[in-house]
Amino acid sequence: MKLSAIVLTYNEKRNIEDCLNGISWADEILVIDSGSEDGTTGLAAQKGAKVISHSLTDFAAQRNFAMSQAAGDWVLFIDADERVTPELANEIKNLIAKPLPLYVYAIPRQTFFFGRLLRFSDARHDTPVRLLPRDHARWAQPVHEKVETSLPQRQLASPLLHYSTRDMNHYRAKIVSYIPFELEVMRSKGLKARFSDILWKPSAKFLFLYFWKLGILDGVAGFQYAILSAYYYTFRKYWLYWKGRKK
């Protein structure tokens, strides 16, 4: 069985070389780039990746396009800010070398926020599906995309390292890119735009992440993650949704 490792990119010059180093063992490496202007594609090509430029409509559509370009029987999706460890690489290679029943595989992530490891909050039980047989699954939902498949799911043991957010500028850029798709999902669900959501949803989000999901045990990193998720991301999302209610 052959494996195609896929990375979606947009201005990932800072990350792309380290990311590709971790998947250099794959039978094929695809970089699907949505218009980088910082030299990402040149660096990826130098690393031996097949680079394909493709405009981003939403993240699920971009992943589905990537799978349509892959030659491997299996596909492994890795974000540019993630790193495949040698242990995870060996686990994947051993797995797909065997003629086992088909499954989709979730991979546990160790997430670093502002350089600090998160053990709780949203990082706890963070196991996105990333390894799947190419012809037996598709991606859905414009952002925070999910796999749709009839196959059962299993989980790998070795973690994926996720360097989620470097600093505040990086955090702002990520939120700006995510929110238009978040609003699209909210509109598709027919959610009512209520001013009261702007007032109570951020506070509820903070309490949920910091206390209920034990973010408080992550110290400074846990507080930073909870406060920004609540009063920057959640507030901004509901404010913009309410503001655009008549459009």
Q: Do 88 and 148 share a domain, yes or no?
A: yes
Q: Do 109 and 190 share a domain, yes or no?
A: no
139: β partners? 147
Q: Do 136 and 177 share a domain, yes or no?
A: no
Mean pLDDT of 11-39: 96
Nearest residue to 193 via CA among 142, 141, 143, 237: 237
* Count of other CB atoms within 10 angstroms of residue 80: 23
Report how far Cα 69 is from the mean position of its chain's Cα atoms.
20
- Going from the C-alpha of 181 to that of each of 10, 23, 53, 220, 244, the distances in angstroms are 16, 29, 21, 29, 14
pLDDT value for 246: 64
Tell me: the pLDDT tens digits for 46-97? 999 999 999 999 999 999 999 999 999 999 999 999 999 999 999 999 999 8
Q: Which H or E run contains 5?
A: strand 3-9
Between CA 33 and CA 87 the distance in angstroms is: 28
Nearest residue to 245 via CA among 175, 204, 196, 205: 196
Q: Do 147 and 173 share a domain, yes or no?
A: no
Q: Do 87 and 146 share a domain, yes or no?
A: yes
Mean pLDDT of 220-229: 96
Res. 39: pLDDT tops 80: yes
Q: Do 160 and 174 share a domain, yes or no?
A: no
Q: Do 31 and 42 share a domain, yes or no?
A: yes
Between CA 31 and CA 138 the distance in angstroms is: 18
Between CA 84 and CA 90 the distance in angstroms is: 10
* Structural domain ending residue among the three candidates 105, 137, 164: 164
* Structural domain ending residue among the three candidates 164, 184, 214: 164
Res. 100: pLDDT tops 80: no
Q: Do 144 and 200 share a domain, yes or no?
A: no
Q: What SS3 state is found at 147?
A: strand
Q: Do 127 and 10 share a domain, yes or no?
A: yes
Q: Give the chain's count of helices (H) and strands (E).
A: 8, 13
Residues 33, 34, 38, 39, CA torsion sign: positive
Res. 1: pLDDT tops 90: no
Q: Do 208 and 102 share a domain, yes or no?
A: no
Mean pLDDT of 196-217: 96
Between CA 182 and CA 210 the distance in angstroms is: 22
Q: How many domains does the chain have?
A: 2
Q: Do 11 and 119 share a domain, yes or no?
A: yes
* Structural domain ending residue among the three candidates 148, 164, 180: 164
Tell me: the pLDDT tens digits for 122-166? 998 999 999 999 999 999 999 889 999 999 999 999 999 999 998
Q: Are strands 50-53 and 109-113 parallel, antiparallel or unpaired?
A: unpaired
Domain limits for position 112: 3-164
Between CA 187 and CA 133 the distance in angstroms is: 32
CATH number at 136 reads 3.90.550.10
Asked whether 228 and 209 are in contact (CB, 8 A), the reply is no
Mean pLDDT of 8-24: 96
Encoding tokens for residue 69?
């370009």
Q: Do 22 and 43 share a domain, yes or no?
A: yes
